[in-house]
C-alpha cells in the first residue's frame, strides 16, 4: 500500500493545533497560542506538514525576515560583506509531533523552508538562513545540513544561501 503524500501548507484555522505535541513545551505552546497572532501581525509565516488526516499537524516551522551585523560571522565570510546589516531569513521554529519523530520529517521541513527562502530571494535579497537552536541536539541537527555557528553564540547558526544553491536541491 502506498504511503499518503505529505502536504506542507500555510497554517490555517482548520488545522488542529491543540493536538500537536513534540518534546519541547515552548514549541508546542508557540503553535497552540502564538503562531496565529504572529501570522496576523505579519511577523512570521508558519507552515505545517500534514500526513494522514488533513487537519492533523505532523510538524511545522516558522519563517521571518531579519538582519544581522557582519561582525557576527567568521572573519573569512565577514570580510566579503558590506558594512551595513546583512539580510537574512529566520527559521524561528521547527518541530515534529511525537508520533512522527524519527521518520525524516525534520529534514523534509528544513529543506522545504530553505527552498521557500531561496525562491523568495529572487525578489528580496537574503544572504543566509539563521536558526536559534534550542538544544545541543538541535545544533547537531542543523550542523548536519551545513549550518555554522555565529562567532558570538554557539547555538545561533547560519547557512549562506549560496551553500544550498551549490547543492542544487
Catalytic annotation, residues:
142
- Residues 92 and 140: their CA atoms lie apart, in Å, by 17
Question: What is the number of residues in the chain?
Answer: 169
For the chain, counts of helices (H) and of strands (E): 6, 7
Could you tell me if 87 and 81 are in contact, meaning their C-beta atoms sit under 8 angstroms apart?
no
- Residues 90 and 68: their CA atoms lie apart, in Å, by 11
- Residues 122 and 135: their CA atoms lie apart, in Å, by 32
Strand order of the β-sheet with 148-149 is 7-10, 45-50, 57-68, 86-96, 128-132, 156-160, 148-149
- Could you tell me which of 103, 4, 112 has the C-alpha nearest to residue 56? 4
- Residues 157 and 148: their CA atoms lie apart, in Å, by 5
Amino acid at each position: 500500500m502506498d504511503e499518503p503524500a505529505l502536504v506542507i501548507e500555510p497554517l490555517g484555522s482548520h488545522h488542529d493545533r491543540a493536538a500537536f505535541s513534540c518534546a519541547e513545551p515552548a514549541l508546542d505552546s508557540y503553535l497552540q497560542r502564538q503562531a496565529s497572532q504572529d501570522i496576523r501581525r505579519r511577523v512570521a509565516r508558519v507552515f505545517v506538514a500534514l500526513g494522514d488526516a488533513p487537519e492533523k499537524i505532523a510538524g511545522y516551522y516558522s519563517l521571518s525576515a531579519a538582519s544581522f551585523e557582519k561582525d557576527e560571522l567568521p572573519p573569512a565570510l565577514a570580510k566579503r560583506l558590506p558594512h551595513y546589516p546583512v539580510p537574512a531569513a529566520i527559521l524561528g521554529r521547527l518541530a515534529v509531533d511525537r508520533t512522527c519523530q524519527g521518520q525524516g520529517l525534520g529534514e523534509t521541513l528544513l529543506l522545504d523552508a530553505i527552498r521557500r527562502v531561496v525562491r523568495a530571494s529572487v525578489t528580496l535579497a537574503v544572504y543566509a538562513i539563521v536558526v536559534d537552536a534550542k538544544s545541543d541536539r538541535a545544533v547537531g541537527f542543523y550542523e548536519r545540513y551545513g549550518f555554522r555557528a555565529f562567532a558570538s553564540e554557539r547555538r545561533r547558526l547560519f547557512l549562506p544561501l549560496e551553500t544550498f544553491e551549490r547543492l542544487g536541491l
